[in-house]
Amino acid sequence: MSRAAGRDASGHDASGHDASAARDASVRPSGSPARPARRSTRAAATRPPLRYRIITASLLTVAALYFLTPVYWLTVSATKNSADLFGTFGFWFAHPRPLEHLRDVLTYDHGIYVRWFTNSLLYAGVGALAATLLSAAAGYALAKFPFPGREAVFNLVLAGVLIPGTALALPLYFLFSTMGLANTYWAVLLPSIVSPFGVYLCRIYAAAAVPDALLEAARIDGAGEARIFAGLGLRLMTPALVTVFLFQFVHIWNNYFLPLVMLADSDLYPIQLGLTSWTGYADRRPELYQYTVGGAFLSVLPLMVLMTVLQRYWRTGLTEGSVKA
Amino acid sequence: MSGTDRGRPATGRVQRTRHPHNSRNFRNSRNPRLTRTEARNARAAAAFVLPFLALFLLCFVAPIGYAVHQSLHRTERTGPLGLGGQEREVFAGLANYAHALADDRFLTGFGRVLLFGVVQIPLMIALATALALLLESASARGIPFFRSAFFLPYGVPGVIASILWGFLYVPGISPLVEIAGSLGLHVDFLARDTVLWSIANIVTWQFTGYNMLVLISQLKAVPDELYEAARIDGANAWHLARHIKIPLIRPALVLTTVFSIIGTLQLFAEPMVLRPLAATIDSGFTPNLHAYSEAFVSNNQHIAAAEAVLLALVACVLSFGFLRLVGQRGDGSGR
């Protein structure tokens, strides 16, 4: 396609020429009767040149390969036994028996994997739910009630956001062991319920999304503060609450250091800790390699579904945090 | 085109417009009612804040206090040769800190994570920015697929990611090593010089997509008129990115960098999981690993507490230092 042909074709379907047409348009004095040029400017805005689209698509594809290859490897390897894991090419299937292998993972050692999975769900589910409620209440109060010491509390929360979690985990263990809380469910659950970032997010969101006039109206109608919070506040804050829940769920689910220092009893382990205990024995029991890979595959599934399905909540919520920071 | 969709939720740009006192102004004429309202407010606020605050004190403030206390004491045994007998805690001043700071391996670990951060954080943020700009550019197709693909690794826990990449690093099982070998290349991901960067790759793989999403949400908060105006002025995609988009997402860049600094200092799960595979990862590979082994291998809580306090201090200094650095530059230049 020649340059002239591109011009003739009214600029809409031209590929490499829209950019030059747009450049021409900008050179023209704005008052001049340049209708075709303006049309092509809009066309350039909606359909960039072909070579830009090709470059963009190639770069995005390379990046996608990088991010997806390990996941692909995991999917393929979850169908292999230990011998094939070492003996066959990693990026292709060999004697795939996925259901059998996954059953082996689930039944090994009297179904300890199921126990770990349940523990992880308990820590992350209950912890994130409680964290969301506490953050919502605290954030709502910080945004909507002018009480003495409000700024001090908020600054304390902000400092909490910046404290590295693992620097806290060791001291927390020392403290909890003097209190007899170490090596219990509470040792992992209690710290998981505290989310300074959640409070921060909820305060910002409540300040913007819960109108004072509405609260006043509810008060004049005689509703108690608890009812106003539960009926109005929580409903208006829902998008932020979903974000806080997701954040905290992933945070707890992914947390390794805290359970590692807190828990000695393998019945209390979350999945991550359990799987690393398997890799520790794999030298002596080679089938554990296969179980580790299968277990890793199973453990990744729920979070991936959660993240893909609820992606739009991540977006809106993160905007809140990043714009205001 | 995603850059100009007008249907996006406006939540990101809602500003706090209403002053908290405005709505109560009409009550100023009736004083007794106001004080009663204020008392009611304070009571309600306390009920809402206290559950969080109590747990915050237990899980954030108390451990820090306890760690500081522990770090200033040491255990003294009254038995012969300092073994057995009664244990009691005695004040040690800054001896534990001196011990930690005189420990070569602890300091080397710090140096290692600093080097890691200086290289990995800029790379990761640059990659995240590039991907965000590409996905938000007019040329991108298949945006939902790519966004999900890039974000997916964030859902893989650090331990699982390390196990996963560990298998991709170990010679004999790794298809990557195999492919490289068939091309005549000898690669060793777990050698003394390369293992740190193999870990950097795991971290980059995990968190680039997350950072990208933060940047994208800020890009979406930029008014479309701005892009439109620039485009009419003849700005091409590159100009748009360089002179409009990147300066506008600066707050998000700062945020992601600060969180990356904090995350880097805590580096633990990745080297811990790779340790059995790489002989070059010792118990002092990162400061966190060192503190952990002081506490659980050497059984020295007081040193471990001092190291945890030092770690938290360095994290605070670095993140606040970075915030000040970029803050000053923001004031100084008018670009």
Within a domain: B41: no
Total domains in the fold of chain B? 1
Residue A311, number of CB atoms within 10 A of its CB:
15
pLDDT at residue A284, as a whole number:
77
With contacts defined as CB-CB under 8 Å, which chain A residues touch B54? none
pLDDT at B216: 87
Q: Has residue A92 been placed in a domain? A: no
For residues A61 and A195, state if they share a domain: no
Classify residue A232: in a domain, yes or no.
Answer: yes
| Residue A249 CB partners (closer than 8 Å, separation 6+) | A124, A125, A127, A128, A306
At A187-226, the pLDDT tens digits run 999 999 999 989 998 998 898 888 998 998 998 888 888 8
Contact with chain A for residue B238, Cβ under 8 A = no
- The shortest C-alpha distance from A208 to chain B (Å) reads 5
**Which range marks the domain in which residue B184 is found?**
106-329
Q: Which of residues 28-87 of B touch A (CB under 8 A)?
A: 40-42, 44-49, 51-53, 55-56, 58-64, 66-67, 70
Chain A touched by B182 (CB under 8 Å): no
Cβ-contact B121, B263 below 8 angstroms: no
In this complex, do B168 and A73 lie within 8 Å of one another by their Cβ atoms?
A: yes
The C-alpha torsion from B324 through B326 and B331 to B335, rounded to 10°, is: 180
The chain-wide mean pLDDT, for chain A, equals 80
User: Do A167 and A251 sit in the same domain of this protein?
Assistant: yes
**Which helix (H) or strand (E) element contains residue B88?**
strand B87-91
**Domain identity same for A305 and A177:** yes
- What is the distance between the alpha carbons of residues A77 and B167, in angstroms, rounded to a whole number? 10
Instruction: Decide if B205 touches A, using CB distance below 8 A.
Output: yes
Closest residue of B to A208, CA-based?
A: B16
What is the CATH classification number for the domain harbouring B183? 1.10.3720.10
Q: Rounded CA gap, B50 and A248, in Å?
A: 20
Residue B6 burial by CB count (10 A; 0-12/13-18/19+): exposed, middle or buried? exposed
Contact state of A163 with B60 under an 8 Å Cβ cutoff: yes
pLDDT tens digits along A117-174: 999 999 999 999 999 999 999 999 999 998 888 889 988 888 888 887 778 899 999 9
Q: Tens place of pLDDT for every residue, chain B, 335 residues?
A: 333 333 333 333 333 344 444 444 444 444 555 577 777 778 888 899 999 999 999 999 999 999 999 999 988 776 666 555 667 788 888 999 999 999 999 999 999 999 999 999 999 999 999 999 999 887 788 888 898 899 889 888 899 999 999 989 988 788 888 888 888 888 888 888 899 999 999 999 999 998 998 888 888 877 778 878 887 887 777 788 888 888 888 888 988 898 899 889 889 999 999 988 888 888 889 999 999 999 988 888 899 999 999 998 898 888 888 888 887 544 333 33
Using CB atoms, which residue from B55, B231, B273 is nearest to A45? B231
Q: Alpha-carbon distance A307 to A254, whole Å?
A: 13
Residues A170 and A318 in one domain: yes
Query: In chain A, pLDDT over 90 holds for what percent of residues?
Result: 34
pLDDT at A139: 94
Count of structural domains, chain A: 3
What are phi and psi for residue B91, nearest 5 degrees? -65, 135
Chain A interface includes B216 (CB < 8 A)? yes
- Cβ pairs bridging A and B (under 8 Å): 342
Q: How far apart are CA A221 and CA A214, in angstroms?
A: 11
Residues A150 and A274 in one domain: yes
Model pLDDT for residues A14-36, shown as the tens digit of each residue: 333 444 434 333 333 444 444 44
pLDDT on residue B325: 84
SS3 content of chain B, % helix, strand, coil (to 5): 70, 5, 25
**Residue B295 belongs to a domain:** yes
Q: How far is CA B12 from CA A212, A242, A313, B255, in A?
A: 20, 15, 12, 16
Contact check, Cβ <8 Å, B231/A216: no
Interchain contact, B234 vs A168, CB within 8 Å:
no
Domain holding A310, by residue range, is 98-324
Give the containing element (helix H, strand E) for A286.
none
Do residues A13 and A71 share a domain? no
Q: Which residues pair with B312 in a beta bridge?
A: none
Hey, are the CB atoms on A46 and B1 less than 8 Å from each other? yes
A71 and A104 part of one domain: no
The CATH number of the domain where A236 resides is what? 1.10.3720.10
In angstroms, the separation between the Cα of residue A180 and the nearest Cα of chain B is: 14
Residue of B218 and A4 predicted with greater confidence: B218
Nearest to B231 by CA among B137, B148, B113, B329: B137
Q: Do B163 and B157 contact (CB within 8 A), yes or no? A: no
How many alpha carbons fall within 13 Å on the CB side of residue A39? 11
Looking at the complex, does the CB of residue B230 fall below 8 Å from at least one CB of chain A? no
Best of B48, B249, B254 to mutate (most A CBs within 10 Å, chain A): B48
> What's the Cα-to-Cα distance from A300 to each of A59, A114, B164, B247, rounded to whole Å?
26, 14, 11, 36
Residue B61 inside a domain? The answer is: no
Flag if A316 and B9 touch (Cβ within 8 Å).
yes
Complex-level ipTM? 0.79
Do A73 and A202 share a structural domain? no
Q: Which residues pair with B277 in a beta bridge?
A: none
List of chain B residues whose C-beta atoms are within 8 Å of the C-beta of residue A138: 48-49, 51-53
| A interface test, pick of B16, B25, B49, B250 with most A CB neighbours within 10 Å | B49
Asked if B22 and A193 come within 8 Å (Cβ–Cβ), the reply is no
pLDDT attached to residue A33: 42
Report the distance separating Cα B27 and Cα A78, nearest Å.
68
Both A264 and A153 in one domain: the answer is: yes
On whether both A141 and A242 belong to a single domain, the answer is yes
B76 inside domain = no
